[in-house]
Amino acid sequence: MTATDAPAVPTSTIYGDSTTDPLLMYGPIVADRLPGGTEPRPYEHITVVPAGTTIGAEVSGLRLGADLNDATLAELRRALLEWKVLFFRDQHISRADHRAFAALWGELEQHPFFKYTQPGQTDVDVTTLAKGMASAGVENSWHNDVTWSATPSFGAVLRAVELPASGGDTLWTDTAAAYDTLPAAFRERIDGLVAEHDWMQAFGTSMPSEAVEILRPHLPAVQHPLVRVIPETGRRVLFACQVFTTRVLGVPQEESDEILSVIYRHVQRPEFQVRLRWRPDTVAMWDNRTCQHYAASDYFPQKRVMDRISIVGDVPVGIGD
C-alpha cells in the first residue's frame, strides 16, 4: 500500500488536546504523496525507486549531463514534482556535466555570500562546500535555500566530491506533507499570512562588516507567503525556515513566535523525512520550493567536499494570489 492508497485516519485517533498544543499527535501521520485527484503513472524512460513514503526517490537508467532527450527530461521533471528530491547513484561526471545538467532546469544562480563565508570558490555558479578541520559544517539546521531573495531558488543539484569515512548524511523533509497534516484550524489560521525573510541573521553574522555594508542596500529583507502554492500542481507547502525567516507580519510578536514554533516543530517530524547516505559519485537534486534540508555535521574533523549548483526560481505565490 502506498501513501496515496492509505485509508483516511479518523482525526480523533491522531490529535490530543489541540487547545493546549496543536501538534499533540499520536498514531498514524499519513499524508498523500501526490496532490488530491492525481493518479500515479508509470515511468517509461527512467527507473524510479521510492526512498521514503512521500519524499525521496532513487532514479537510474541515465547519465547526468546536457544530452538528455526531451522525453527523459519530461519524466525527470514529473518525478521531481512527485518526489521532491531525487537521488542518482554511480554518476561519474565532471563539473562541466554537473553544470550542463543543472542548466537544463533554468538559469544558474550566483550566490553573493559564499566568497566571504566559504573561501576558495573558483566559479560564480558552482559553490564548493569544503568542510573539515579548517571549516566545520554549519548547515545542520532545517532550511530552504535563498528564501532571503525575492526569487528563492527553484532547486539545487548537489554532487559528492570527497566524503568522510562515516557521517555527513543529508536529510530532507516534505513541507507539503507537513502542511496537509496540520490541524485544520491551524491551517486556516496561517493560510493568508506573510512572513519576512532576511539573510542578516545567518550570513550577516559570519561576514566582514564592510561586505555587509556593501551588500545590504541591494539585498533588503523580503516578504513571502507563509503558505506557498506550487503553480504546476496547486500543492500548498509551508514556506518558513529557522535560518532565514524572522517574523510573521500583521500579528503581535508573541503570536508570530508561536506560529513559527509550531511550523518548525512540525516540519521536523521523521514521518515527513528521507535521509541520504552519500557514496562516491552520488548526486542529489531537490525542489527547494517543496522541501527543506539538513546536512548532518557529525564527521568533524574529517573532510567533506560537495559541489552545489542552484537554479534561479520565481516569486512565491500564496493562496488567492
Whole-number pLDDT of residue 213: 84
pLDDT along the chain (321 residues), means of 10: 42 46 79 88 96 97 95 97 98 96 96 74 87 81 95 98 96 97 93 94 77 83 97 97 96 96 95 97 98 95 96 96 82
Is this model's pTM higher than 0.75 or not? yes
pLDDT digits (tens, 9 = 90+) for 34-56: 988 788 999 999 999 999 999 99
CA distances from 180 to 157, 185, 302 (A): 27, 12, 39
pLDDT digits (tens, 9 = 90+) for 188-235: 999 999 999 998 887 767 778 888 888 888 888 999 999 999 999 999
Q: What pLDDT sits at residue 19?
A: 54
Residue carrying C-alpha cell 528564501: 147
Q: Which three cell numbers stand for residue 263?
A: 511550523
What is the spatial distance between Cα 222 and Cα 147, in angstroms, rounded to a whole number?
8
Q: Which residues contact 178 (CB under 8 A, 6 or more apart)?
A: 31, 237, 238, 263, 266, 267, 269, 272
Tell me what percent of the residues of the chain surpass a pLDDT of 70. Answer: 93
Give the per-residue pLDDT at 304: 96
Q: Which residues are catalytic?
A: 143, 145, 293, 308
Check residue 3 and give its pLDDT: 40
